[in-house]
Amino acid sequence: MQSSKQLKPPVTETYDSLLAPGQSLNSVTAKISDIILFPVLKTPLGWIIGFVAAGLLLMLYLYSLATLFTVGIGIWGINIPVAWGFDIINFVWWIGIGHAGTLISAILLLFRQDWRTSINRAAEAMTIFAVACAGIYPLIHTGRPWLDYWFLPYPSTLGMWPQFRSPLEWDVFAISTYATVSVLFWFVGLVPDLATLRDRSTSPIAKTLYGLASLGWRGAAKHWQRYEVASLLLAGLSTPLVLSVHSIISFDFAVAQLPGWHVTVFPPYFVAGAVYCGFAMVIVLMIPIRRWFGLEGLITMKHFDVMSKVMLASGMIVTYGYFGEIFYAWYSSSIYEYYLIVNRFTGPYAWSYWSLILFNVLIPQVLWSKKLRQNLPVLFFVSMAINVGMWFERWVIIVLSLHRDFLPSSWASYTPTFYDWSTYIGSFGLFFVLFLLFIRFIPMIAIFEVRDLVHKTTAHTAEHEDSGHAGA
């Protein structure tokens, strides 16, 4: 990144290994920490442009929220019967994106999958920022966000408790637990790297800040032992969350009796969809970042290959869900369920259903080919298609089920307004502002984990004598 103005050397891609040849303990630490440790005033222009663009989007977001708070949710296109629109679509979409990070950090850690090491840090950061973006929607969609604390079970003077039988109340606990555990896991994993940065930085301000954040980490054997226990415990805590969070969000729909919502397949289908969409987002983010920061040696084509396979597998589960829905409609012998499917195929919003099938089912089939899996432009395009397709999935579930009520007299249509769009597009501003701050100030690849991988994969040679052990 420092040398962004210089011509980059042609990239040699590594296809069969998780590390490019020639990586050493020193080179890994230097490579990752050099992205961060340089004076603020020398921040590369590309980063600044990106940050300004994301900041403008964030301003749009704040403007939309301010309008929402002062005017009310009438600025959105929702009404009865389509009482949920972009707010809940985007909520489910964003929270789904977060799932890849948790899956990578928790489940793959427990399964000792080495390929997670280079991507887990960024994926976990993505999780946290996506959860932040997601969590805002249910808070603002209540219409009176200043009363959102009513969600919480606290001893109120009303003498009443929230409705614990409502899945919307379960959401409160699911999301807040998810956010808390994700932040903790991410931060615990950061501590050794923050200590490395503390030791490598030369500016006293950076030294103090990284020093405070690294909680006095000295790399002692006791520290490492406790670190291992803590991360194992957190991985254990996170693992059920990968499954539970999106299951509970699917209950928001599945517990209702609306055609298209009241389906038992929803929890697994939502979880698979979340992983699908989350991995797509990781790929969308990693392809450009890896190129801009010259991280081809650490994030190799093998990583993308493995992630594509996960995406393909979860995509097939989602596809199974789509066929399942059609089967249930027929098997239920309910005219309402049956009509819902007919309406999806041929109704006024049929275009969104067929877009969903195109983006989520047809386009990702190219991932069966190893050659296309390892072609980054193709992979980028497919991942973008999956992100769009998963957005359409939530649109189809929410809008198409709601706009046809049981009584034809209550039928209506839904058209998003300017503020629906601005609140959605603006939330990317929040996401990218946070993400850009993350890649600027925090090592986006776990240094010590990659060093561990280097240690495992290279022969025991003179590497041991390198002096960079303070942080790892």
Partner 1 sequence: MAQVFNRRTNTIVRLGIFVGVPVILALLTATWWYYTRSDWVRDVGVAHAKVQPAGNIPGAGGYSHQLHVGGLKLDCRYCHTGVEISSNANIPPTETCMGCHAQILPKSTKLEYIRNSYEKDEPVQWNKVNDLPKFVYFNHSIHVAKGVGCSTCHGNIASMAVVYKTEALYMSWCLNCHRAPEKFLRPQSEIFNTAWTPPADQIAQGLKLKKDLNIRTSSQLTNCSICHR
Closest distance to partner 1 from the beta carbon of 157 (Å):
4
Distance separating alpha carbons of residues 78 and 86, to the nearest angstrom:
8
163 near partner 1, rule: CB under 8 A: no
Of 321, 320, 338, the residue nearest 329 (C-alpha): 338
DSSP, collapsed to helix, strand or coil, labels residue 152 as coil
Is the torsion defined by CA of 84, 85, 91, 92 positive or negative? positive
Distance separating alpha carbons of residues 129 and 121, to the nearest angstrom:
12
Closest distance to partner 1 from the beta carbon of 156 (Å):
7
Q: Kindly tell me which of 162 and 347 has the beta carbon lying closer to partner 1.
A: 162
Distance separating alpha carbons of residues 232 and 165, to the nearest angstrom:
33
Please give the size of the binding site for partner 1, defined by CB under 8 A.
12
198 near partner 1, rule: CB under 8 A: yes
Asked if 134 contacts 91 with a C-beta cutoff of 8 angstroms, the reply is: yes
Residue matched to tokens 């850009």: 436
Q: Kindly tell me which of 145 and 347 has the beta carbon lying closer to partner 1.
A: 145
Closest distance to partner 1 from the beta carbon of 184 (Å):
15
Q: Kindly tell me which of 29 and 300 has the beta carbon lying closer to partner 1.
A: 29
Distance separating alpha carbons of residues 394 and 96, to the nearest angstrom:
10
Asked if 80 contacts 435 with a C-beta cutoff of 8 angstroms, the reply is: no
Residue 93, token pair as written in the block: 């979409």
Compose the 201-220 pattern: x for residues touching partner 1 by CB under 8 A, - for all others. ---x--xx--x----x----
Of 260, 245, 266, 252, the residue nearest 88 (C-alpha): 252
Q: Kindly tell me which of 46 and 143 has the beta carbon lying closer to partner 1.
A: 143
What is the length of the chain? 472
160 near partner 1, rule: CB under 8 A: yes
- Residues whose CB falls within 8 Å of the CB of residue 429, separated by 6 or more in sequence, listed in order: 54, 55, 56, 57, 58, 59, 60, 61
Distance separating alpha carbons of residues 24 and 117, to the nearest angstrom:
15
Report the run of H or E that residue 307 belongs to, with start and end: helix 301-332
Closest distance to partner 1 from the beta carbon of 203 (Å):
11
Q: Rule CB under 8 A: choose which of 10, 22, 159, 408 binds partner 1.
A: 159
Closest distance to partner 1 from the beta carbon of 433 (Å):
28
Region from 69-77, 96-104, 150-158, 348-356 binding partner 1, contact rule CB under 8 A: 150-158
Q: Kindly tell me which of 198 and 302 has the beta carbon lying closer to partner 1.
A: 198
Distance separating alpha carbons of residues 91 and 82, to the nearest angstrom:
16
Closest distance to partner 1 from the beta carbon of 163 (Å):
12
157 near partner 1, rule: CB under 8 A: yes
Residue 127, token pair as written in the block: 């999780």
Region from 149-157, 282-290, 297-305, 456-464 binding partner 1, contact rule CB under 8 A: 149-157
Q: Rule CB under 8 A: choose which of 113, 156, 166, 225 binds partner 1.
A: 156
451 near partner 1, rule: CB under 8 A: no
Closest distance to partner 1 from the beta carbon of 207 (Å):
5
Of 424, 46, 380, 396, the residue nearest 372 (C-alpha): 380
Closest distance to partner 1 from the beta carbon of 208 (Å):
5
Region from 152-160, 165-173, 226-234, 343-351 binding partner 1, contact rule CB under 8 A: 152-160
Q: Kindly tell me which of 20 and 230 has the beta carbon lying closer to partner 1.
A: 230
Region from 110-118, 156-164, 388-396, 453-461 binding partner 1, contact rule CB under 8 A: 156-164
Binding site for partner 1 (CB under 8 A): 155-160, 198, 204, 207-208, 211, 216
